[in-house]
Structure 1
Amino acid sequence: MSSLGNKKIMSQNISRLMKSKGVTRNKMSDDLAISYTTLTDWIKGNTYPRIDKIEMMSNYFGVPKSTLIESESSLNISDKVNAILANLSITRQKKVLAYSEHQYQLQNSQPRLFKRPKQDIELYGAVSAGTGEYLSDEYRETISYDGIVPDHDYAVIVNGDSMLPLFEDKQIIFVKKRTDIRSGQIVIANYDQQAYVKKFVSDDSGARFVSLNKKYDDMPINANHETSIFGVVVL
């Protein structure tokens, strides 16, 4: 590609990202400590920024450097999604995450034209999406699994419907052992000596385990209940 072509693509990408982020030339030049004239030359395609300036802009917009360097039509879908996601509010990012997780589960539940080879995984019992289960390291069962197997410490099977639409009854889910968790994560938890899969929420109303299926009540975390975390679900 010619130098002129590079300048044109760069100028188009900078203009597009500025519009997406809602910033003016004055604000961007102030934020990045570059001159208004220099930024204008980039936007008009008169000059091409050095690599350190490209990296600075990629950090500023929260996108990969390829989003600035390559034409929009050549970017893959994940680059485009990441560019949009970086400029959404946290509330809207959470909505995108929930929708993506749901689509991922639907994809895994549908028949595939090309089946993946089955893998043996160790199942450590069941966790409740309903009324409670008993989970123990002593119980292990090896089964064949033909879905995507992420990096995990153990797998469990879901019993019940309290985590619909994210997890279905009898679905296998994968877990990383962890005790340090943050609000909004899906966790495997001990609650009064029974194992549950729930969403952990901590806010001004207090800490609690929440079901995605709203017909189930929240489970408060307080001195009246014995609670601990077995791990975080990694799908």
Structure 2
Amino acid sequence: MPRNKLSPLDIKIRTEISNNLKKYSHGITQVSLSEKTGIPVSTLSGYFAKRSTPNAGSLQKIAEALGVNKSDLDPRFADDEFFSKKDIPNIVSIYERLTPTRQQKVYNYADNQLKEQNNAIVRMPRTQIKLLGAVSAGTGEELQDDTTEVDYTGTVPEYDYALQVNGDSMEPLFTDQQIIFVKYSEEAFNGQIVIAYVDGKAYVKKYHFNGAKCELVSLNSKYDPIDVSGNENFKIKGVVVL
């Protein structure tokens, strides 16, 4: 499946992170930073060169190694004004072009987001969870071998491991940078949201099997399904707790 083109906002975020990394790592080599964080030099190089976007766990490691706050590196943790109005799509215009069934789904999602926001204002429980790494909702991620402890605000379900979602292919169910909780399993029922390995990379997708064809399906229609029929390098590694 071809790599999806980055949005102007994705490019803007990567550029800001790259500039901040160069600013705060002045005098520190990438090799030295790799030794301090445990993040491979090749991965760090991608962050510096704007080829990839670090997840929250990696950002935390880098920030601690550089003696700065995570918000000093990634503008998404610092200032809502970073996102200008032109970065935000006209949701009303999009909503009006949807069928009634899809409009209901958008309404349900927006209503849930509002409830979560209101609950956060009241005071949601805050705890530390062990984040295994990132899982792609788009083009695939290589999971880390170790876990990183990160702050999490909200109710934590019973789970085996947690991951951060990178990408928008599972919207509106999961948004970019959202933390999801997973129960380990090597099997899944048709229609479940799974963590799947395909050719060494991890994805979060909807599992679809009709007896003749097996696919990993995105909820965002702009992404094509991944056909894993007969692929010996395809494995299920968990079912997402919903």
* Structure 1 residue 100: Cα displacement: 10
Inter-CA distance 110–205: structure 2 relative to 1 (3 Å threshold): farther
Gap runs ≥5 in structure 2: 1-101
Distance 2:193 2:115 in 1: 19
* Structure 1 residue 214: Cα displacement: 0.7
Inter-CA distance 106–215: structure 2 relative to 1 (3 Å threshold): same
Query: What is the count of residue pairs matched by the alignment?
Result: 138
CA-to-aligned-CA distance 1:25-67 (integer Å, 9 cap, x gap): xxxxxxxxxxxxxxxxxxxxxxxxxxxxxxxxxxxxxxxxxxx
* Structure 1 residue 222: Cα displacement: 2.0
1:113 alignment partner, SS class: helix
Distance 2:180 2:237 in 1: 13
Inter-CA distance 163–105: structure 2 relative to 1 (3 Å threshold): farther
Identity of aligned residues (%): 46
More deviation, 197-206/117-126: 197-206
* Structure 1 residue 117: Cα displacement: 2.7
> 1:126 and 2:134 equivalent?
yes
After TM superposition, list the pairs within 5 Å mapping 1:1-235 onto structure 2. 102=109, 106-107=113-114, 109-111=116-118, 112-136=120-144, 138-203=145-210, 206-224=213-231, 226-235=233-242
Distance 2:110 2:159 in 1: 21
More deviation, 181-190/220-229: 220-229
* Structure 1 residue 179: Cα displacement: 1.3
- Per the normalisation by structure 1, the TM-score is 0.53
* Structure 1 residue 226: Cα displacement: 1.4
Distance 2:180 2:112 in 1: 11
Give the counterpart letter for 1:231 in structure 2: G
Distance 1:132 1:149 in 2: 25
Which residue number corresponds to residue 38 of structure 1? none
Q: Is the 8 A contact 2:162 2:180 kept in 1?
A: yes
* Structure 1 residue 205: Cα displacement: 5.5
1:110 alignment partner, SS class: helix
Distance 2:136 2:170 in 1: 9
Inter-CA distance 187–203: structure 2 relative to 1 (3 Å threshold): same
Distance 2:192 2:231 in 1: 23
Gap runs ≥5 in structure 1: 1-94
Inter-CA distance 133–210: structure 2 relative to 1 (3 Å threshold): same
- Per the normalisation by structure 2, the TM-score is 0.52
Distance 2:210 2:113 in 1: 30
Give the counterpart letter for 1:131 in structure 2: T
* Structure 1 residue 144: Cα displacement: 1.0
